[in-house]
Copies of this chain bind each other. A is one copy, B any other.
């Protein structure tokens, strides 16, 4: 058994938890912030039997990979709205930092 700790962006966490759940993986969500990823993030704990580690990692990669997104910039306050045409800009979103830890024993009571 392994314990997977996955730090993912808040915006990806619901989709990831749904996808993990569909693959019969159970997750616990730890409130976390800052650091590995720039925006708000969440740490998921996932207990996984050895033979399913690759499958779990695949689900994480499929749902949380870093990717580019077009974002409409916020209009400058007090700007001249008529002459201002906001251009969407590309930003990096997503990303996951994943630790796979050995587990010596697992119990549930």
Docked complex Cα distance between A100 and B41 (Å): 23
Cβ A29 vs Cβ B33 within 8 A: yes
Among A26, A32, A104, A108, chain B packs the most CB atoms within 10 A around the CB of: A108
Smallest Cβ-Cβ distance to A64: which chain B residue: B109
Docked complex Cα distance between A103 and B97 (Å): 13
**Could you say which of A1-9, A73-81, A85-93 contacts chain B?**
A1-9
Total A residues in contact with B, Cβ cutoff 8 Å: 43
Task: Evaluate whether A99 and B106 lie within 8 angstroms (CB atoms) in the complex, with A28-B34, A29-B34, A33-B29 already known.
Answer: yes
A103 interface neighbour in B26, B29, B57, B101, Cβ under 8 Å: B101
Could you list 27 examples of A-B contacts with CB < 8 Å?
A3-B5, A28-B33, A28-B36, A29-B34, A30-B31, A30-B32, A30-B43, A31-B32, A31-B33, A32-B45, A35-B45, A36-B47, A43-B45, A47-B97, A57-B107, A60-B109, A61-B109, A64-B109, A94-B109, A97-B107, A98-B105, A98-B107, A98-B109, A100-B103, A100-B104, A100-B105, A101-B104
